[in-house]
Every structure is written in C-alpha cells, then in structure tokens.
Amino acid sequence: MNMQSKQRCLLFVTIGALAACGSDATDGPDAPTDNQPAVDPAHFVAGGLKGAITTTSCTLSGGTTTTCYKIVTVGAPSNRTVGPFCPTKITDGSVAGMWIEGGKTYDLTGDFIANLATFYNDTKWKLYDAAGNINVTNSQVACEAAARPDVDPAYQNYCVECALSYYGGGVERTFLIPVNPVARKSGTGSVGMGGVGVAFDGIVLDGPAPVTAIKAAHTIAAFDDCGGHINAHAGYHYHAATGCSPSVTAADGHAAIIGYALDGYGMYALADASGAEPTGLDNCRGHSDGTRGYHYHVASAGENMFIGCFKGEQGTAN
Amino acid sequence: MSAARLALTVVVFVLVLGLPSPASAHDSGDGNAFMWRACDGRQLDDTCAFQNAVHDLYRGTCQSMSNALVCVRNQPIERAASQLPNRMASSNAQSPRWWQWLAMAGVLAISGAAMVVLHAGKRQR
C-alpha cells in the first residue's frame, strides 16, 4: 500500500466515523406519510365483536380531537377455544400450551415442567408433587392470587392458568382508534398497561411486563399455542403473534396485516411472503412504504412483545 | 508496525469497544429478563443489544413498557451461525451513546494524527 492509498484509507475511515455519528436511531426514513391509509374496519371478524363498529368523536393522547372507530369486542376469539395452557402431569407428553423464554418459544409439556430446575438452573423450581401431578391453579381465586405481581405465597411453584368462564366467557373491551392516524409532532408514545392494539379477532395485543417478581415465585403464567393467556383485568390477551388470529395477506408479498395499533397504524406480521424480516425499522418497529404508509411489524413470538412505541397519537383501550 | 497500521488497529479496537455489549440469557438464567436488563443504566432510545439462549444477537433501542425500559429489537435477528465470535457479554452500565461519542472522537483524533504523520513522512522522503 503506497502513501496515497494509506491516506485514502484513513480518510475513508474518518468519513465513515462521521457518517456513523450523524445517524440517530430516532430519525430515519420512517416518518408517517401524507397518503396514510385509513383504518379498515372490514378487516375485523364479526364474531369477535359485540356489535357493529361505529364512529365517534375522540381525543387522542396528544390532544388532537378527531373521529375514532369504536370497536367493542367480546374478549374471546370466535373461531377457536382458548387454551390449553398447563399440562397436568409430568408424564403428560402431549403439548398443552407454550412458554416464552430466552427469546424462544417452548412447548409446554409435562417433561418441560419436570425439567424446569435444570432449565432455569435453580433447584427451587418444582411445580409438581411426588405423584407427578403438576400444581395448576384450578379456580378464579387461585388464578388471580397466583397471577398478581406479588404472587400469593400459597401459590408459589404453580403453573398458572385462568378460564374465560370465570369472567362470563370473555372480558368485554372497548377500543377507540383514530379513523385516520395522526402522526405525533415529535417523539413517540410509550406502551402502557392498556395494550398496544387489537387483533382482527378482537383480542387485545398486550405489551410485555417485567416478570422478575413472578419468576422469583417460581410460577409460570402459561400461554396457549396462540400466545395468549387470561387475567382478570385484560381477559384473554395476546403476548405473541403466532399466526392464530385472522390476517389479511398482501398481493405484493408484503407481510400480512394482523391488526391495528391504538394510534391507527397497521400492525403487520414479522415476515413477508418469502419469510424475510423487514429492514430499516425505527425504534417503534415501524417504517413506511408507498402502499401502506407508515406501519408496524410485530416482533417474533419469542420476544414477548409486538411493537416498541407509538409513532402516532393513541386512542384508548378500556 | 507503521504509523498507519498502528492507527488503523487502534481505530478498529476503539470502534469495537464503542459498540453496546449484548446482555446474555446465560448471564442469569432467568430468561426474557435479559431483554429488560439490556437497558440497565441506559435511557430512552439508547441503543441496546442482547443474545438469546442460543446466542442469536438482537439489536435495538431501549423503549418504555409499563414504566420500565426494555430492549426492543429493530434490526433482523443475527443468527448465531452467521455472526462474529461473541463479544464480551459484560454488564452494561455505560451509556452506549457516551461510548460511541468517545469512540468517534478518538477515531477522528487518531486518524487526523496518523494522516499528519504520514504526510510528514512523505515530505521527508
């Protein structure tokens, strides 16, 4: 390498460094566009709704007054029965539900429960008795005591599951979602406790919650194979997109849309028709294209989340 | 070692140190908690990274969920088979932006100095 080549090399490195400094994760080609498609209420499955979707005046999280779709859901998918969640015996080889851990999903079998101490490298994990019966919450009192953040000591080392029958067959939810998404003027909206959006079967798409306390009590809040489980407040809700809920495929091979976020932007599956993940996602896991405008792509099932934040002003989920 | 080679070696070393160290699922054994731990000591929108149980690498930014920061991936998962040897999965108390700015300042200073040295050497010959 001659002297000039060395100088060019150093100049290249320097320019590269400057370019890296200039990039900021909060910026990028992800701003919502002017030709943003409106929410399409026809995507929702009627069986998951309490009644027809209507419009109403609403005030979004940023103070904008606009028109929202009012979507009242029954809290249970109409095309299937939720569950199963927990296996009942450690010798039970069939798959009950699913567990999410370490970025992966695991079939919840008796064998999986039997090996939790090894799985977590913690001998305190023992969710079964001497006869091999797994400790499963079997009443509303039990499930609510075991599922609360400060787990009732009586329900440590339990596989936690609740039944929709405890809540009248489903917890009714009301979503107000702007008909036309309103982009935030600056910054992003944080994900709170009310969920991040709604799937087309009417089930709330929930954000993750810190589970340190629950893990410390050696309990597993089992998911069914669709990535959902039940609690008293949210009813049946999803923590992962596994392909169970209805979706609308795209003719151009783009990932299918699976629901809408509370800010009205579309929530799309992780991968496109060829199985490829999108690139160029912003901090919220969204980006724009000419067909769909700004939209989100949900995270993988093992990540126990859907999107990172809201690019638009949110409606509400109650 | 020539001045240019030394400078490039230092540049690469500084750049590698400046990248966020991924939290690892194997550090604690408590599973998805590493996604939250990856944002310990970081602020909203800071870059973060973590590895799953099989060393797949996830890169993203820290976002607020239920009033706590969690690492939200926004880049395709880098599967373990195709990624470089694991970087040191240390705790991540330092802000990546602070490190990145320091690294970039170091890069500029070292590159500039090396170019001056090379130019001086050329003039002497």
Same domain, B62 and B101: no
Instruction: Round the average pLDDT of chain B to a whole number and report it.
Output: 67
All residues at 6 or more sequence positions from A173 whose CB lies less than 8 Å from its CB, including other chains: A72, A73, A75, A198, A202, A204, A234, A235, A317, A318
Query: Token pair for residue A303?
Result: 């990540």
Burial of A50 (0-12, 13-18, 19+ CB in 10 A): middle
Distance from CA of A299 to the nearest CA of B (A): 8
Q: In which band, very low, low, confident or very high, does the pLDDT at B91 lie, cut at 50, 70 and 90?
A: very low
Q: Which residues pair with A316 in a beta bridge?
A: A176
Most confident of the following: A25-39, B47-61, B97-111: B47-61
DSSP helix/strand/coil, A191: strand
Structural domain range at position B81: 21-91
Res. B23: pLDDT tops 90: no
A213 touches chain B (CB under 8 A): no
B74 touches chain A (CB under 8 A): yes
Question: How many structural domains are present in chain B?
Answer: 2
Instruction: Round the average pLDDT of chain A to a whole number and report it.
Output: 88
| Predicted ipTM beyond 0.95 | no
Q: What is the pLDDT of residue A118?
A: 94
- Residue closest to A267 by CA, chosen among A313, A298, A300: A298
Mean pLDDT score, A184-188: 93
More confident residue, A88 or B115: A88
| Of A131-135, A255-259, B36-40, B44-48, minimum mean pLDDT range | B36-40
Res. A35: pLDDT tops 60: yes
pLDDT above 70 coverage of chain A, percent: 87
Alpha-carbon distance of A23 to A8, in angstroms, equals 23
8-state DSSP, A156: S
Q: What is the pLDDT of residue B2?
A: 58
A206 touches chain B (CB under 8 A): no
CB B74 within 8 A of CB B6: no
Same domain, B66 and B117: no
Same domain, B114 and B102: yes
Mean pLDDT score, A306-310: 97
> What value, to the nearest 5°, has the Cα angle with vertex A34 and ends A29 and A35?
105
Same domain, B119 and B67: no
Res. B29: pLDDT tops 60: no
The verdict on a CB contact (< 8 Å) between B64 and A281 is no
Q: In which band, very low, low, confident or very high, does the pLDDT at B125 lie, cut at 50, 70 and 90?
A: low
Same domain, B103 and B119: yes
Question: CA A125 → CA A110, A143, A153, A220, B36, distances in Å?
Answer: 14, 19, 14, 10, 22
Q: What is the pLDDT of residue B4?
A: 59
Same domain, B73 and B52: yes
Res. A250: pLDDT tops 70: yes
How many other C-beta atoms are found inside a 10 Å radius of the C-beta of residue B9? 12
Phi then psi for residue B70, to 5 deg, are -135, 150
Residues of B with Cβ-Cβ distance to A302 under 8 angstroms: 52
Q: What is the pLDDT of residue A16?
A: 40
Q: What would the DSSP string read from start to end of A38-69?
A: PP-GGGS-GGGBSS--EEEEEE-TTS-EEEEE
Residue type, A91: T
Q: What is the pLDDT of residue A238?
A: 96
CB A147 within 8 A of CB A234: no
Res. A215: pLDDT tops 90: no
Most confident of the following: A46-50, A98-102, A301-305: A46-50
A309 touches chain B (CB under 8 A): yes
